[in-house]
């Protein structure tokens, strides 16, 4: 069911034009209008799901199964030096469109426009603390 007022549902339906890269019965891939780098592509499930938290296994499987296909097509087209896959969930983590999407961002050089960097904190944790953290998470696996 398309979600009312969802721009990505409208793109899937053709109500909003897009530069389509790939489509099958389960997924749709198209150029991100922001083109952070040349070839920046979004792949989305045709079923409207808000983000990764609300994604059933079968939809996740079908979506991620197609990611390497799209990634390799971008690689063959533009021969980037690398590629970042990004998935933002919730506003705090920079999700701005609330229909699950994976960004495929080909990387060309240090000044290609991609900015994400993070710091390591590995020296701030003991093995015991890491075990506690991993247990906190694994206790909640359904």
Binding stretches for Zn ion (CB under 5 A): 3, 6, 8-9, 48, 99
Q: Which does 9 bind (CB under 5 to 8 A by kind): Zn ion, ligand 5GP, none?
A: Zn ion
101 counts as catalytic: yes
User: What is d(CA 41, CA 31) in angstroms, rounded to the nearest whole number?
Assistant: 4
Q: Which residue has the tokens 């808000």?
A: 50
DSSP state of 93: G
Question: Token pair of 118, please?
Answer: 């993070």
User: What is d(CA 117, CA 123) in angstroms, rounded to the nearest whole number?
Assistant: 18
Q: Which does 33 bind (CB under 5 to 8 A by kind): ligand 5GP, Zn ion, none?
A: ligand 5GP
In contact, 12 and 100? CB cutoff 8 Å: no
Q: Is 94 in the site for ligand 5GP (CB under 6 A)?
A: yes
Cβ neighbours around 102 below 10 Å, total: 22
Nearer of residues 94 and 132 to ligand 5GP, judged by Cβ: 94
Q: Which of 52, 88, 107, 108 contacts ligand 5GP by CB under 6 A?
A: 88
**Could you tell me which residues are beta bridge partners of residue 20?**
30
Nearer of residues 16 and 133 to ligand 5GP, judged by Cβ: 16
Question: Nearest Cα to 8, choosing from 102, 80, 127, 100?
Answer: 100
Q: Is 97 in the site for ligand 5GP (CB under 6 A)?
A: yes
Nearer of residues 105 and 138 to ligand 5GP, judged by Cβ: 105
Residues marked active site are found at 101
Residue ranges binding ligand 5GP (CB under 6 A) = 7, 16, 18, 30-34, 88, 94-97
């Amino acid at each position: 069911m398309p979600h009312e007022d969802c721009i990505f549902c409208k793109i899937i339906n053709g109500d909003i034009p897009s530069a389509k890269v790939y489509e099958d019965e389960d997924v749709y891939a198209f150029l991100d209008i922001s083109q952070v780098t040349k070839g920046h592509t979004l792949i989305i499930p045709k079923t409207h799901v808000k983000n990764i938290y609300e994604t059933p296994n079968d939809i996740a499987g079908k979506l991620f199964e197609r990611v390497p296909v799209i990634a390799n097509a971008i690689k063959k087209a533009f021969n980037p030096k690398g590629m970042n896959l990004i998935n933002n969930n919730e506003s705090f983590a920079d999700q701005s469109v609330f229909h699950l999407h994976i960004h495929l961002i080909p990387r060309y050089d240090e000044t290609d426009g991609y900015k994400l960097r993070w710091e390591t904190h590995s020296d701030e944790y003991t093995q015991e603390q890491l075990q506690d953290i991993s247990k906190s998470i694994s206790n909640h696996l359904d």
